Amino acid sequence: MATTNDLKNGMVLNLDKVLWQVLEFQHVKPGKGPAFVRTKLKNVLSGKIVDKTFNAGTKVETATVDRRTMQYLYRDGEDYIFMDMETYDQIPLTPALVADAANYLLENSEATVSVHEGNPLFVELGASVELEVTETEPGLQGDRSSAGTKPATVETGASVQVPLFVNVGDRIKVDTREGKYLSRA
């Protein structure tokens, strides 16, 4: 058990026997009335995102989630095969569990897999990854009021908006949370 004052981003709560991950929270103390905590929660199984408000100091049940570093090995049909770096067990994960992380997974790359009572819940990547641009059109400089961007396909197959100076073969750094170009690698 924890109180709403102890909430942190990424924490997993067990509300009415349903697991919810805290995406963001805000402690609000209005001029009148009691303080409260406004949260944005994501259902771990369905991916549904809801806003929920708690009174400050309310007790909430936290779920015991084990975060394990695993290595992505390969795809086997629909499943993604990960290997636990400590036990060397190979675990198949469904596309629903991998979700958006699939856009930035390269073979032999490491990811954090969150496990609750032996069941994998979701896959988390680092804040950014380095990927090679495999396809993009040449950037044409023209007169415009702001910096131009163009679509580029990276080696995982994901599409990212990049500046005009990025060419095929360049390595770029991509934000895994928003899928945005950060810089050249």
The verdict on 146 and 159 lying in the same domain is yes
Domain, as residue range, for 153? 128-184
What DSSP string describes 131-154?
EEEEEEPPP-----SS--EEEEEE
Is residue 156 over pLDDT 80?
Answer: yes
The verdict on 137 and 107 lying in the same domain is no
In the chain, the largest separation of any two C-alpha atoms, in whole Å, equals 59
| Confidence band of 145 (pLDDT split at 50, 70, 90) | low
| Confidence band of 52 (pLDDT split at 50, 70, 90) | very high
15-19: long-range contacts at Cβ-Cβ below 8 A with a sequence spacing of 24 or more? 15/41, 15/60, 15/61, 18/43, 18/45, 19/43, 19/44, 19/45, 19/63, 19/116, 19/121
The verdict on 102 and 133 lying in the same domain is no
| Confidence band of 39 (pLDDT split at 50, 70, 90) | very high
pTM for this one? 0.72
Q: What is the pLDDT of residue 125?
A: 86
Q: Residue 2, Cβ neighbours under 10 Å: how many?
A: 14
